[in-house]
Amino acid sequence: MSVRRRLVIGNWKMNGSKAENQQLLSDLVKLQNAAAVNEAAELAVCAPFPYLQQVADILKDSVIGWGGQDASEHAKGAYTGEVSVGMLAEFGCAWAIVGHSERRAYHGESSDVVARKAAAAIAGGITPVVCVGETQAEREAGNTLQVISSQLEPVLALGAGAVRKMVLAYEPVWAIGTGLTASPEQAQEVHAHIRSLLAQAGAPEQRVLYGGSVKAANAASLFAKEDIDGALVGGASLVATDFQGIANA
């Protein structure tokens, strides 16, 4: 068993409202207090940018951290619609998801852009959660490990010093929001591959999260695998008891 601390991060995506967030976060804080805080696991939520102040106000005295769902590779300037790492840091963000498959697919983000975003996050003192994952077609063609390697190449090329400040997340595109979850064996195969790439990069102990339809019911069997260090949770992070159930697992 490794000594890597478990990590469960909620990715709200474009969901929530002031009223819904208030309810969800206060429920989460209550559940955490009632659970007498699971020392073994670290928890965070990644909220839409306009709500970061609200999230910070509600979570500031809790054990739950927070972050953004993306971050610009640029520090400031004429980049309409973008949010910088410095801005996230001002709102107390400890985390920024980068390279989520929805950003790659809908916003054309290449792996080089993702690597530059990760570098910007690290330079600004925020831990990037770098997401990689294959599509259904890539898996069926037998290219899964190759796709993961090529997505990670520019990220790992940032060097051991940078990679030691990252968390990686394996999110098979076909499992995101579909109710289909990679089996623990399928996930472990990819996580072991990622671990070997991390080892080559001089950072074998970085945490690697699994994401893709993680629920309270399937979390424990995934977390039992050697190289799965936690989860990046979409849908189930919007329901306090579901998210807490995953954290308990």
In the complex, what is the shortest distance from the CB of residue 227 to ligand PGA, in angstroms, rounded to a whole number? Answer: 18
163/231 with CB nearer ligand PGA? 231
Strand positions, DSSP E, the chain: 6-11, 41-46, 64-68, 95-98, 127-132, 167-170, 208-211, 230-233
In the complex, what is the shortest distance from the CB of residue 125 to ligand PGA, in angstroms, rounded to a whole number? Answer: 23
119/182 with CB nearer ligand PGA? 182
Per the CB < 8 A criterion, the answer to whether 71 and 109 are in contact is no
- 100 a catalytic residue: yes
Quickly list DSSP for 112-140.
Answer: HHHHHHHHHHHHTT-EEEEEE---HHHHH
- 171 a catalytic residue: yes
In the complex, what is the shortest distance from the CB of residue 235 to ligand PGA, in angstroms, rounded to a whole number? Answer: 4
One of 134, 171, 191, 193 is an active-site residue; which one?
A: 171
Q: What burial letters (b/e) apply to 56-85, b meaning 16+ CB within 10 Å?
A: eebbeebbbbbbbbbbbbeeeeeeeeebbb
- Look up residue 225 and give its DSSP letter: S
74/215 with CB nearer ligand PGA? 215
96/233 with CB nearer ligand PGA? 233
71/233 with CB nearer ligand PGA? 233
Per the CB < 8 A criterion, the answer to whether 207 and 230 are in contact is yes
Residue, CB closest to ligand PGA: 234
Per the CB < 8 A criterion, the answer to whether 63 and 29 are in contact is no
The whole-angstrom separation of Cα 245 and Cα 215 is 8
In the complex, what is the shortest distance from the CB of residue 179 to ligand PGA, in angstroms, rounded to a whole number? Answer: 8
In the complex, what is the shortest distance from the CB of residue 170 to ligand PGA, in angstroms, rounded to a whole number? Answer: 11
The whole-angstrom separation of Cα 104 and Cα 152 is 13
Where on the chain is the footprint of ligand PGA (CB under 6 A)?
A: 11, 171, 176-177, 211-214, 232-236
Per the CB < 8 A criterion, the answer to whether 232 and 209 are in contact is yes
One of 42, 100, 109, 134 is an active-site residue; which one?
A: 100
Q: Which residues are catalytic?
A: 100, 171
